[in-house]
Amino acid sequence: MCGIVAYIGPREAYPIILKGLKRLEYRGYDSAGVALLNSGLKVYKKKGRVSELEESLQGVDLHAHIGIGHTRWATHGEPNDRNAHPHTSASGNLAMIHNGIIENYAQLKKELTKKGYTFKSDTDTEVLLNFIEDIQTNNNCSLEEAVRIALKRVVGAYVIVLINKNDPDTLIAARKGSPLVIGIGKNEHFLASDASPIIEYTKEVVYVNDYEIAIIKQDELILKNLGNERQTPFITKLDMELAAIEKGGYDHFMLKEIFEQPQTIYDCLRGRLDAQAGTITMSGIQKYAEQISNANRIIIVACGTSWHAGLVAEYIFEELCRINVEVEYASEFRYRNPVINKGDVIIAISQSGETADTLVAIENAKAKGALILGVVNVVGSSIARISDAGAYTHAGPEIGVASTKAFTAQLAVLTMIALKIGYEKGTLDHDRYMQLLQELDAIPDKVTEVLRSKDNIQAIAEKYKDAKDALYLGRGYNFPVALEGALKLKEISYIHAEGYPAAEMKHGPIALVDEDLPVVFVATKDSYHEKVVSNMQEIKARKGKIIAVINEGDEQSSALAQDIITIPQADEIVAPMLSAIPMQLLAYYIGIAKGYDVDKPRNLAKSVTVE
């Protein structure tokens, strides 16, 4: 989950690497470091944010045209100076950065210790680096060949980039299970975990595949597999603008991304949904529409916020398509021995398209004959490439660690897929289909209305910022929204929060209710509304503090709540895209009121590319 950056070319390397690390801090911010080659190999690293590294290097001569950089989310070894990357080899000739986990590092370390190696850090990365150097020394081979031999022994996930004091014109990189993008410039190359550090300099990129090694010089990029066979680099044009990865006048990326949702949902629908013509155009889905329609089962695999989107989709697909749906945590699904039959449909949901557990889960399912559909945001990502078909969410770069606009974009895509399949299958009649197209088409404008409640939500946040716990309740389509609301509060404010189906409250959680407990009800008018009102009365009777997300004109719910947040009326199938917005804003404003860095919550990273 760490962020890596590297550069080779005629420009000064350090400013490019530093700016790149700042853009990748959402991937990890426990420590940061750079290694530069100029009349020797110089390594600088420090615990803390990239800004602390930058401050420590004021006045230092950092001239170099080749270098590597790293911002860390700690896996092996606590966050401190000595465990920060880059790491240097025993001889001091090599430096390496690494994103991933080497699972058999202990065995390798034991072998190296017997040979007399000592280690300056607690990391698996230093072990792998010395293992590579040991192979190079004992076999009198090139660094490229040593990397190839070493990686055949390695178990785990990795992106590595190496710099060699004795070869100042070359970078060596390799990838398995973690993302690596190479930007192609004029006599220069840029390497990064994603495209955000690259977009300023070039829009031509190569996405490195698993088990590939890249040999990069100023004017040359060579890709080889572990069998030493040359591969043809496939150059992709980035569909991204620099403004998309900047704050644009907002105080935080999270707030910017919340307020982008009218546009990102519109972008997701644009070119696909034509409510007047009554059509949904999704070529990837159309190709497999018959197979999806005839599936006995759809299995949705995801993690975190994407899992909550999958739960909403379960309700939608079962209602509209009459197909049995199961929603699985990818981290559990991949380690079970699930029953997967040929003809089953797996929908993998991931913002980054690189989530390690989801990636392995669909690899296993694909090997058993399942059809894989990917719903991802990042073009060219690993899940997108392994999927048989699917749809991009077109939400644009999401920099804030807590996912916001990606969630609503995922819901928009999943709803369109369900509408398309249900209508073609005949389980959704024409009138209802046309009604839902109109409802979905109206969502961007209704999200804009919800965002006008920001001042009210901020005032509510001030009232509850000192709460120790919170309970989020919803039913039906809004139950996953309650789960997502609780997750956002935990991520951003560090307040313990639980999401529950409102009906399950009586089976335990009601014991927590007292005059100090805020209880957030997602209580929009739907087929469950009267039941939810009854649950609100039970909380009120026990003096709980009720915050209710309701539709305009709902006097019954309003009379029971201490605080209300109103949102426009919408069909229950599309309503979660509206009711999720107050959850995001409430968490944001509580985090701000508590003085926390909401873009970089403690212990979290954006893209979980390790187990």
Please check the confidence at residue 94 and state whether its pLDDT lies above 70: yes
**Cβ-based neighbours of 210, under 8 Å, separated by 6 or more:** 175, 176, 177, 382
What confidence category does residue 611 fall into, taking pLDDT thresholds of 50, 70 and 90?
low
pLDDT at 85: 92
CA atoms within 13 A on the CB side of 437: 22
Could you tell me if 221 and 189 are in contact, meaning their C-beta atoms sit under 8 angstroms apart? yes
* Distance of alpha carbon 146 from alpha carbon 215, whole angstroms: 13
Q: Is 321 an active-site residue?
A: no
Domains and their CATH numbers in the chain: 3-243 (3.60.20.10), 247-441 (3.40.50.10490), 453-600 (3.40.50.10490)
pLDDT at 483: 97
Annotated catalytic residue within 45, 46, 256, 606 = 606
What letter would DSSP give residue 394? -
pLDDT at 255: 94
pLDDT mean over 115-126: 92
| Among 461, 505, 500, residue whose Cα is nearest residue 482 | 500
Angle between helices 105-114 and 124-139 (to 10 degrees): 50
Could you tell me if 378 and 351 are in contact, meaning their C-beta atoms sit under 8 angstroms apart? yes
Share of the chain above pLDDT 90, in %: 67
| Among 563, 558, 521, residue whose Cα is nearest residue 539 | 521
- pLDDT tens for residues 548-560? 999 988 888 888 8
Q: 87-91, 244-248, 425-429 — which is least confidently predicted?
A: 244-248
Annotated catalytic residue within 2, 268, 303, 321 = 2
| Residue of higher predicted confidence among 511 and 590 | 590
pLDDT at 330: 87
pLDDT at 240: 66
Please check the confidence at residue 353 and state whether its pLDDT lies above 70: yes
Start-to-end Cα distance in the chain = 10
What confidence category does residue 243 fall into, taking pLDDT thresholds of 50, 70 and 90?
low
Looking at 140-177, list the stretches that DSSP marks H as alpha helix, in order from N- to C-terminal side.
143-153
- pLDDT tens for residues 12-33? 999 999 999 998 887 777 899 9
pLDDT at 440: 97
β-bridge partners, 548: 521, 564
CA atoms within 13 A on the CB side of 310: 27
| Among 271, 212, 197, residue whose Cα is nearest residue 17 | 197
pLDDT at 495: 95
* Distance of alpha carbon 448 from alpha carbon 261, whole angstroms: 8
pLDDT mean over 213-229: 95
Residue type at 511 in one-letter notation: A
pLDDT at 427: 97
Please check the confidence at residue 607 and state whether its pLDDT lies above 60: no
Could you tell me if 33 and 14 are in contact, meaning their C-beta atoms sit under 8 angstroms apart? no
